[in-house]
Structure 1
């Protein structure tokens, strides 16, 4: 997929044009009115995503929060990433995008091919949008990096490796064992 297919005049893409794109096997995100295209996630990535969402769901349901995978999150006009997993407050399940104000925790599952986008670019964008918690899962090792928003930047609160447990109390109360997220080897 090339950007020329989406930029016939070489100009920026509006949100309306972005939402009008037909579904593709590629993951298409909008960053500052420009498309960011990555290949569809691997089975390993999707396995981790599903397991993580299931683990978070246990704590979200009693709090009347929602755990959703791979949805459009509008950080600001013209900036719409697709995080791997989010925990939200009450949302309209029929809208094309969830506003950042509704997102309490955002999670990205990092692979070597997208590490800089998740650890630098998206981290900055999520912090700028005011999302309180950011969880990064290292796809290869299973390590969980939990960040809390302080001011305009994230501060790392914990690193949980295989064999240890991550105890979340905010925005949900759950315990996650990294090895339970990983597929069998």
Structure 2
């Protein structure tokens, strides 16, 4: 992961977040890369490994099994964590289709993370720590009901963890973790079991 630090132009009268967001919107990001805003800087995230994309595809197919038409699953959807002025681009986001339909087609404003029902992050070697700590805390602060962390680089072995019941202090009250190869039940409105043994790699 590489980071490009953008200093706020204090003479412009803009709030630092507004300046960073405007800069983010104007970036010409290389194909396959993602630009996020974290800790007052813009971070460029390189394209993922093929296995990473394979896991995302497997999870997405499973989530759609019983999913209502009122919910959609979106890849590379930017979300704003308003309490912390952060902007992330998760691997998968489950959000009401009406929220997506109501987005302004003339702007590239990120969606409010608090509107998400589930956010999925799949770790890469370069970002595993951020997914386990910063993003965990951010999604909890935003009130995202479910955070699914698929950690291929956990020191205890590859693990999938579903965090639920977010607290305003940036933690989740409950976590259900399984090693790759074991099933992980996902509650309603999904009502499916994630078969981690189907993950590539």
Q: How many residues align?
A: 181
Confirm or deny: 8 A CA contact 2:141 2:167 kept in the other structure.
no
Q: Structure 1 residues 113 and 3, CA, compared in 2 at 3 Å: closer, same or farther?
A: closer
Three-state SS of the structure 1 residue aligned to 2:23 is helix
1:104/1:171 contact within 8 Å kept:
no
Correspondence for 2:79: 73
Q: Which residue of 2 aligns with 1:52?
A: 59
Cα distance in 2 between the residues matched to 1:121 and 1:83? 13
CA contact (8 A) 1:74 1:98 kept: yes
Q: Any unmatched runs of 5+ in structure 1?
A: none
Deviates more, 1:111-120 or 1:152-161: 152-161
Counterparts of residues 13-162 of structure 1 (less than 5 Å): 13-25=19-31, 26-60=33-67, 62=68, 64-76=70-82, 78-90=85-97, 91-93=99-101, 95=104, 96=108, 97-140=110-153, 142-152=158-168, 153-162=171-180
Q: Distance in 1 between matches of 2:51 and 2:181?
A: 19
The alignment yields a C-alpha RMSD, in angstroms, of 2.6
> TM (normalized to structure 2)?
0.78
Mind listing any 5+ residue stretches in structure 2 that lack a counterpart? none
